[in-house]
Structure 1
């Protein structure tokens, strides 16, 4: 998914002189064609993430559209003040391409797990937060960011994620996509969890429960109308995210429905626990540990339905 995003930035740069790339201590082969063909718009900085945000802000103030790439935790925890004051305050068109959202970097432990990144950034005025489901959706997402107003945060999966999006779905920032029509249950998810929800829906169907999947690739601004429509159709609304329970997608959905006077008793939120992990492994093993694999999602849904 990351490589697809960077390839798309390269394609944008070839046709738009405003596009520049700023990386932080990335591999020497990163975007080598970009560097060779457009060296005056390619910048690779050292381990100084706060600096690259300020640098990107300066470039944006001069009319450029910077695409900044490094690890998600470094773009959020480490650069929070710079993102808030340099980018959001001035509503600058800087695109933050975040590698390793969620528990992708499980082998490296809690310092590299971006489990609260959406909460951190959706709290900031003028920030847009997006998590595509697969590389194919990324090919539609990156071009959509070119002239989008204000800063944009794009959260990547690990790469090689199963492709479930389709060109026929289209893509517009802020517009959710129905991957599977709802039945008794409606699941709302973002990022790579949407693919896992589709598999969970298949497992639920084996138990006689029809479940749909609404893919909210854009967590901010949220597609409130689509969520409200789904909530009105189902017996149980389920939010699923690779993020802590606090202030992520599930919280955003609750806030949106509460503001519209919706019924909140029929909602189940599935997310990572409010704790730093003490285990190491893979993304899949970590999701399984916390019940966020397809079997765990299906079991949680069945458990809640059996309580009603």
Structure 2
């Protein structure tokens, strides 16, 4: 995913000299190719993320297309106020990249784990929120963010769980992407980011007739399409490496409640911090987001309905 992001970044910057990359003293190896190809379009703003967003806002006002990069614990969480007032309020074309979303920076503790970034950003008016699942969705989301000429937050996990698609999907902004066809109406899976691969694996192994949809666009999202998925299923399982409060599960539940009521199982991070540090796989296990724990939750939920 990060390679796809780097390639898209270099391609956009080569095609448009107004594209500028701003980083808060992160991503050196990731941006080796960018610095080599477009050295005059690279700005290391240092560990001063709030100032960096202000710089991006000023650059956007003068015709540049800033792309602001940081760990998602800092971009956007540390700079929510600056994103809201400096950028989104005036609908400036700034793209924010939050790398390492979820538990990927596991050993660095709660300060570097980001499970609330979707909730923080989706409530800000005029700010789109993207959450790609694989390298193909990263490319599609980068192109969509650039072409939209609006304020965008793109959430990217460093854990590459494998491809979801065979090629770059070509669908409109806001659409759910069908990762697996639906043959029956008993259960449907909607997932985002790293959890799409998990949803596919679980559906393939245990629910062969279930459809699986990827949600690379959290906001805007096609409410009519979501409602259609909900109408066709008896149960909708939503998976995300993010808090169950304010994330994709909340989005789907809100749409369902208004247009197509159905039982929804929201699988994500419960309302708590990590108790310990450890590997990425350890933290998925601690928060019951490993495959075995998710499969058990689904079985329990279905048995109770």
TM-score (norm. length: structure 1): 0.93
Secondary structure in 2 matching 1:68: strand
With 45-54 and 196-205 compared, the bigger mean Cα shift is at 196-205
* Aligned Cα root-mean-square deviation (Å): 1.7
State the shift of 1:115 in Å. Answer: 0.5
Show CA shifts across 1:26-67 (max 9, x none): 254442343344333210111000011001111111111111
State the shift of 1:17 in Å. Answer: 1.9
Judge conservation of contact 2:104–2:159 (CA < 8 Å) in 1.
Answer: no
Alignment of 1:114-125 (within 5 A): 114-125=114-125
State the shift of 1:159 in Å. Answer: 4.3
Distance 1:277 1:213 in 2: 29
Which residue pairs with 1:302 in the alignment?
299
Distance 1:92 1:172 in 2: 21
Which residue pairs with 1:234 in the alignment?
233
Judge conservation of contact 2:140–2:169 (CA < 8 Å) in 1.
Answer: no
In the alignment, which of 168, 184, 187 is matched to residue 185 of structure 1? 187
Which residue pairs with 2:283 in the alignment?
286
State the shift of 1:138 in Å. Answer: 1.3
Which residue pairs with 2:6 in the alignment?
6
The answer to whether residue 213 in structure 2 is matched with residue 199 in structure 1 is: no
Which residue pairs with 2:209 in the alignment?
210
Secondary structure in 2 matching 1:162: coil
Judge conservation of contact 2:88–2:124 (CA < 8 Å) in 1.
Answer: yes
Alignment of 1:28-177 (within 5 A): 28-167=28-167, 169-177=169-177
Secondary structure in 2 matching 1:73: coil
Distance 1:61 1:41 in 2: 16
**37 and 167 in structure 1: CA distance in 2 versus 1, 3 angstrom threshold:** closer
State the shift of 1:129 in Å. Answer: 0.7
Judge conservation of contact 1:200–1:295 (CA < 8 Å) in 2.
Answer: no
Distance 1:195 1:175 in 2: 18
Distance 2:231 2:270 in 1: 28
Structure 2: state its 5+ residue gaps.
Answer: none
With 114-123 and 135-144 compared, the bigger mean Cα shift is at 135-144
Judge conservation of contact 1:240–1:271 (CA < 8 Å) in 2.
Answer: yes
Which residue pairs with 1:268 in the alignment?
265
Which residue pairs with 2:244 in the alignment?
245
**30 and 187 in structure 1: CA distance in 2 versus 1, 3 angstrom threshold:** closer
State the shift of 1:142 in Å. Answer: 1.2
Structure 1: state its 5+ residue gaps.
Answer: none
State the shift of 1:68 in Å. Answer: 1.0
Secondary structure in 2 matching 1:240: strand
- How many residues are matched? 303
Distance 1:251 1:85 in 2: 25
Secondary structure in 2 matching 1:7: helix
State the shift of 1:226 in Å. Answer: 1.7
With 228-237 and 280-289 compared, the bigger mean Cα shift is at 280-289
Judge conservation of contact 1:134–1:157 (CA < 8 Å) in 2.
Answer: no
Secondary structure in 2 matching 1:75: coil
Show CA shifts across 1:278-302 (max 9, x none): 1112222222222222222222222
